Structure 1
Amino acid sequence: MVKALNCPNCAATFNPQDSICEYCGSYIITSEAKQVTYNLNEFKTIYKKIFFHEIEMGVSELPIRSGMANIYYSATKSDGGRLLLTNQRLIFCAHALNINPNLYWEIGLENVYRVEIGLNLLISQRIKIFDTKGNVTTFVVYGGKAWLEELERALN
């Protein structure tokens, strides 16, 4: 049974398996898949707006990859949620089951200095995001090498 959601643009009820609001034409990213790489040809100009969770994509902003991720603080502390890479930024939104359910993190790609693969944990890997201010943010993701390839491609 699929739970109906409300469109973040017009508030109409929509089926998340459809991804498109039949009332306003917005595309809503709701995938439950571990990892999704998007076909950019899928995002035609007919979509009035594109949303990830309730975050509206900017003008000419397109999703590249999304998936389950943990923002990693230490061996005993992390927050789970979803990570989205677009052609303009990297966004993390925590899911509701966290101690910090409203956690939101983002960085514009112009502020990313470099990315690298971290510790390999069999089916998941850490990816490290180094920003231009000297901060390092670490995520645990499935398919870390694919994330790294997509990040490097988006940065170039």
Structure 2
Amino acid sequence: MLKALNCPNCAAVFNPKDSTCGYCGSYIITSEAKQIKYNLNEIKATYKKIFFHEIKMGVNELPIRSGMANICYSATKSDGGRLLLTNQRLIFRAHALNVNPNLYWEISLGDVDRAVNGLNLLISQRIKVFTKKDNVTTFVVYGGKTWIAEIECALNQN
């Protein structure tokens, strides 16, 4: 059962099932689905603001894909949350059940060199995101090959 939430833009009560604030018109992404590919035709240009779990999207920034993910620090240490790919950046937001529930990671697509597949564990896969400065961040996601394809497509459009 979904409960009512408050809009991160205007604080009005909204039903997360609706994805939009009836008061200010902001588009609010709160889905808990494993993976979501966003239909950009449904995200109207008339929405004043777009939020992903309280993270405000930038000007002309649109969501492409989001899903459950773990950010990995080592073979035995990781934090769970949600990963979001937009046409401008890649964002990870930890969920509240972590030791560090305020964990937030992001990188501009302009700073991403490439993304590659890592270890395949049946349904979930590791993807590695390399920056132009040779830093690497590893995520465990569902459908790693699809994530890689979407990231590559977003990189090619920037």
The equivalent residue for 2:93 is: 93
Partner of 2:118: 118
Give me the whole-angstrom Cα distance separating, in 1, the residues matched to 2:34 and 2:19: 17
| Residue 68 (structure 1) aligns with | 68
When the two structures are superposed, what TM-score results if normalisation uses the length of structure 1? 0.98
Pair 1:47-2:44 in alignment:
no
Question: 1: CA distance between counterparts of 2:78 and 2:5?
Answer: 28
Q: How far did 1:151 drift? A: 0.3
Q: Distance in 2 between matches of 1:10 and 1:97?
A: 27
Q: Distance in 1 between matches of 2:37 and 2:26?
A: 19
In structure 1, distance between residues paired with 2:127 and 2:26: 31
Q: CA deviation at 1:94?
A: 0.1
In the alignment, what sits opposite 1:57?
57
Q: Does 1:155 align with 2:155?
A: yes
**SS of 1:145's equivalent?**
helix
Matched positions, count: 156
Q: Which amino acid aligns with 2:75?
A: A
Deviations 1:88-144 (A, max 9, x none): 000000000001100000000000011100000111000000001211000000010
Aligned position for 1:143:
143
Partner of 2:129: 129
Secondary structure of 1:138 counterpart: strand
Gaps of 5+ in 2: none
Give the 4+ runs in structure 1 shifted more than 6 A: none
Please state how far the C-alpha of 1:75 moved relative to its aligned partner.
2.0
Q: Which runs of 5+ in 1 are unaligned?
A: none
1:105 partner amino acid: W
Structure 1 residue 3: Cα displacement: 1.3
Q: Provide TM-score, normalisation by structure 2.
A: 0.97
The percentage of aligned residue pairs carrying the same residue is 80
SS class of match (2:73): strand
- Counterparts of 2:45 and 2:119 in 1: how far apart (Å)? 40
Q: CA RMSD in A?
A: 0.6
